[in-house]
Amino acid sequence: MLRVEEIHKSFDDFKAVNGANLTVEKGGLVAVIGPNGSGKTTLFNLITGQLKPDQGKVVFKDEDISKLPPYKICSRGIARSFQIANIFPRLTVFRNVQVSVLSQQGKSRKLFYPAGKLAVEETNSILESVGLSDKAGNTAGSLAHGDQRALEIAIALGNEPELLILDEPTAGMSPEETTATMELIKRLADSRGLTILFCEHDMEVVFNVAQSIMVMHQGLTVIQDKPDEVKNSSRVQECYLGGAEPC
């Protein structure tokens, strides 16, 4: 469904992504792993249009989307969450998700109809699925960190995406929260039939969740394969599992 071909991006002299390749099949649950600074977030920003690649293509459902602005990429069916909680802090939790649902339904520019009456059911069901129903009326900025991360995912779900991209959904979480989040991701993939692409710097977390793992190192794709193959790959051992020191 999504294919990233030999993509490059540099900032001034720093080559953030230097030849990354990635394939995501429909219905798949794909993880991108790599140490901090290996270019995972940049890769995601390239896919969803926040950044434009210097070279290479991003193909989604047989269309090159690498030149489209983010809002158009979203309308093609890709939604994403961000590494730092990227929410609407002054709006209520409900409104945060509702804005996203309204956008999906093409009702963002409706001028004379009370917003309170639109997309209520969809929004509530999303809030329920991420476990934020009881906090719907709170101001988003006042939520605890873990809840903001959940809201982050909920906003992305509002777009009813075919492909959901999550940028380090467990960043800054305790081990228990991490497990819970991973279960949430798994559940979403099953119940909503979503294709999910996410990244993570901690390798252990993803092995029992992901169906396919892509390893990034210094902006480069080392390998993409099934978890077991990745674990046994000598190249991955060498540069990632091989020890505390980066190679």
- Tokens representing 66 are 């690498």
Residue among 52, 90, 145, 226 that touches another protein (CB under 8 A): 90
- Tokens representing 45 are 């920003």
Query: Between residue 206 and residue 225, which ones bind another protein under the rule CB under 8 A?
Result: none
Contact 78, 165 (CB under 8 A): yes
Regarding 50 and contact with another protein (CB under 8 A), the answer is yes
Regarding 11 and contact with another protein (CB under 8 A), the answer is no
Query: Between residue 126 and residue 185, which ones bind another protein under the rule CB under 8 A?
Result: 136-137, 155-156, 158-159
Residue among 5, 10, 115, 223 that touches another protein (CB under 8 A): 115
Regarding 116 and contact with another protein (CB under 8 A), the answer is yes
Q: How far is the CB of 92 from another protein (least distance, A)?
A: 5
Q: How far is the CB of 32 from another protein (least distance, A)?
A: 18
Q: For another protein, give the closer residue by CB, 137 or 175.
A: 137
Q: For another protein, give the closer residue by CB, 154 or 206.
A: 154
Footprint of another protein (CB under 8 A): 48-50, 69-71, 74-75, 79-80, 82, 86-96, 98-100, 102-104, 107-118, 120, 124, 136-137, 155-156, 158-159
